[in-house]
Structure 1
């Protein structure tokens, strides 16, 4: 009999640092998942808070080691992209690590206010304000600056944005300019809709920033949708951006920082296949080489890591409700949730995550399709990152099978509209948090119960 445990051990270098098996049951970062299932039931979203801190410390270590190794003259600053996950427990865990914040929405400014009120940040924390800004966003940025948030930095996204700050900001202000990067060659359009054209940057500085003593251009910013990848496209865009930095630096002495937006990837399969150290060192080498060629001091570096910060901290756990053989060879396992509503990137972007059975590792495995609870034909999952198939154990009739999708901590709640109305009124699953106490013992608690029918009906306008 071909057992599920044999399949996994033969396919991957298993166990890994985060995935282990004891008594045919899966552990995730040392968490006995079956114990959580027995306590809380399914469907279940869990967030393991220490993973957020360990990811931040990993990135800081990579950049600081590379700076020392290459004798790089600039500093490194880690920012968390709030848009990856706005939850308070994510923000507060991340901020324990001496990081800063990158925002993309006016409502983020109110999160900044709430964090400051709780003492989680101070007025020296960098608030890198990105995005195309409507008046409300610009207003709240201006109010933060006027209230003494000295490192609240609007990143100008178009030529007219600074006009608002000239009218409403009454103190010395640091600003940045976002450059409109070219998209990947396979993209549907050539240049990003966000940011200022390369050819307009110097004119924007000389005509609108330099003449006003209140404003100081400190940062050039760019964003790469693909994230940091070892591709000719990435290196080409980085080099182009650094050359433009050098050009602007020669006319703007106070400019001293670049923000290389678009972060490190996370593991979408059980096995890691990304060389973080090589990529970090190569980024610094590229910047250092171009600055030397141009006779310009090496800039300070900001990164904005969202998926990398929070993605690997979370998992979605489901029960297999039943199996259905729909023809001679298509066997379906039906889950007690929905991919469209719980993991929308699986549907929208064909995103893959590490998928593992949580129990029955000693049972025979079989090829299956996973079906969600909505009526939509697209609510399915039938391939993994390493394979165009999905294999899971054959469960006994009287014992449930549980499965987990891992590294699901970024964007899924935001995209699915957490707590709102879902396709076919599928509720948001309960969400639990897992941490360790001072002695390293695991502790867990419920952040939110499964969404109720009352909350949905209230949103829809029904009287209940």
Structure 2
């Protein structure tokens, strides 16, 4: 009878997989010995495997190159990374090795762009697609970037007032795009995205505000689907509606030459994940070309904004199971030495699921469990996997620590959770490790950030930690004096 944890995984999925393999009943991720990482750095632990960022960029570029060749598509392709997925310097440095462009979302993003330019990581040829609702500081920063010579900045207009705001502070001509306020998926609580301008209003808006404005050149139509690029009727219907707007707009606006199909590719969230990226890219290119050919207009240059797809699959989180609580005859709680709310907030906020596997103990029998975090909040738990509606892990043994890993968690978790700031119930941010490979393919690891200390958290809260140090010092002196008196 097959009752081992390995048997469960092996008979449920194709295993091993490209990034996961087993060695001596312990999990390896992209050739990384995770138990060796734990023994060296401890747990809880977060890590970023940098080569995966470049790998995913290269894959996407390859799919678009193949599709463009297959359909004899005359436009170009431009890969943009949307920084909101992860703003960390090590992520941008790795991504920018691949001749990509940048999409921004807020005022401080422009400061990052200027910092990268100063380091020579990007230059004036790099497209900066400035998206999002623009408050005054964002407008000022975009203007500064353009006034300092970055002509390849395309500001995506989100509402009717932004052109006037930009024109007041930009000295010369500048390029813009218009974001379509797409209709949301039927299950949403509202019909139309709060971002962008409605389908029917775009051509009238162009004729009224842009056509005869000598400072503004419309270059891009921006099409974003919140649910991402999926092979379903909703996505294809919205794409065709977008293309109708593009064709109508192109006929009255010769400067329009680009289409931004933001929305993003999905990333692997289960060992059963199945998505035909190459097919989707080919069909998108085919649909765009067919629509343009039928209307007799030139095909647009294609821009994509991949955030989670760029960085998500590079990240991992490892926890130790501290204790098992039998709360009733059916529910066993494995308590981890961290918190899901603070370290994987997507699991708590939007019921996000990630690839979750035991790191060790694959030769043990498995059991059904729930996973609980350390905070006193009843919502700090993770209790189901999409493929089986339950969690199965090797049986807990307090004498032999069990470690579990969550994978493909590299996008959004730190920014949502507040990296380096306050955490729920003051559970500290775990140690974060960067993993890379040298020119010979050998693994290199370094500590990006140590686990948060109580001093850092109390300082953020406004407490004077020097008082604590003084009290500790005073207690130490008293203890030493008492010890001397006792001996005498």
The TM tier, using the shorter chain, reads: over 0.9
Hey, what does 2:201 align to over in structure 1?
Answer: 200
Structure 2 CA distance for aligned equivalents of residues 272 and 233 of structure 1: 21
CA contact (8 A) 1:218 1:257 kept: yes
Residue 63 of structure 2 corresponds to: 62
Partner SS state of residue 96, structure 1 = helix
* Structure 1 residue ranges, 4+ long, deviating more than 3 angstroms after superposition: none
8 Å CA contact 1:363, 1:395 repeated in 2: no
Alpha-carbon contact 1:353-1:385 (below 8 Å) kept: no
User: 3-state SS of the aligned residue for 2:98?
Assistant: coil
Per-residue CA deviations over 1:343-382 (Å, capped at 9, x if unaligned) read 1111111111110000111011100000001111111111
In structure 1, C-alpha distance between the alignment counterparts of 2:89 and 2:283, rounded to whole Å: 34
1:426 aligned partner: 427
Structure (1 or 2) with the larger CA radius of gyration? 2
Which residue in 1 is equivalent to 2:38?
A: 37
Task: Count the aligned residue pairs.
Answer: 464
User: For residue 314 of structure 1, what is the aligned residue in structure 2?
Assistant: 315
Question: Taking structure 2 as the reference length, what is the TM-score of the superposition?
Answer: 0.94
Which residue of structure 1 aligns with residue 459 of structure 2? 458
1:100, 1:337 → 2: CA distance?
Answer: 36
1:229-269 deviations in Å (ceiling 9; x for gaps): 01111001100001100000000011010001101100100
**Alpha-carbon distance in 2 for matches of 1:231, 1:455:** 48
Does the Cα contact within 8 Å between 2:323 and 2:398 map onto a contact in 1? no
Partner of 1:268: 269
Contact 1:47 1:409 in 2 (8 A): yes
Q: In structure 2, what is the Cα distance between the partners aligned to 1:199 and 1:225?
A: 20
What is the rounded CA distance, in whole Å, between the counterparts of 1:166 and 1:354 in structure 2? 47
Could you report, residue by residue, the CA deviation over 1:157-180 in whole angstroms, capped at 9, with x for unpaired residues?
Answer: 001100022111112211111111
Instruction: Give the equivalent residue in structure 2 for 1:344.
Output: 345
1:154-202 per-residue CA deviation (whole Å, 9 max, x = no partner) reads 1000011000221111122111111110011111111101001222212
Cα distance in structure 2, aligned partners of 1:297 and 1:370 = 54
Q: Which residue of 2 aligns with 1:131?
A: 132
Which residue in the other structure is 1:449 paired with?
A: 450
After TM superposition, give the deviation of residue 314 of structure 1 in Å.
0.6
Q: TM-score, normalised by structure 1?
A: 0.99
Does the 8 Å contact 1:70/1:285 carry over to 2? yes
Unaligned runs of 5+ in 2: 466-488
8 Å Cα contact 1:78-1:100 kept in structure 2: yes
| Matches for 1:21-32 after TM superposition, within 5 Å | 21-32=22-33
| Structure 1 unpaired stretches of 5+ | none
The answer on whether the counterparts of 1:220 and 1:258 sit within 8 Å (CA) in structure 2 is yes
Q: Is contact 1:360–1:395 with CA below 8 Å preserved after alignment?
A: no
Q: Which residue of 1 aligns with 2:189?
A: 188
Give yes or no for contact 2:324–2:396 (8 Å, CA) kept in 1. no
Aligned to 1:215: 216
State the alpha-carbon separation in 2 of the partners of residues 197 and 383 from structure 1: 39
Is 1:6 matched with 2:7?
A: yes
Distance 1:119 1:29 in 2: 31
Q: Is the 8 A contact 2:203 2:249 kept in 1?
A: yes
CA shift, 1:206, in A, is 2.2
1:56, 1:397 → 2: CA distance?
A: 42
| Separation of aligned partners in 2, 1:108 and 1:288 | 34
Q: Distance in 2 between matches of 1:215 and 1:424?
A: 50
Counterpart position of 1:243 = 244
Of the structure 1 ranges 240-249 and 197-206, higher mean CA displacement relative to structure 2 is found in 197-206
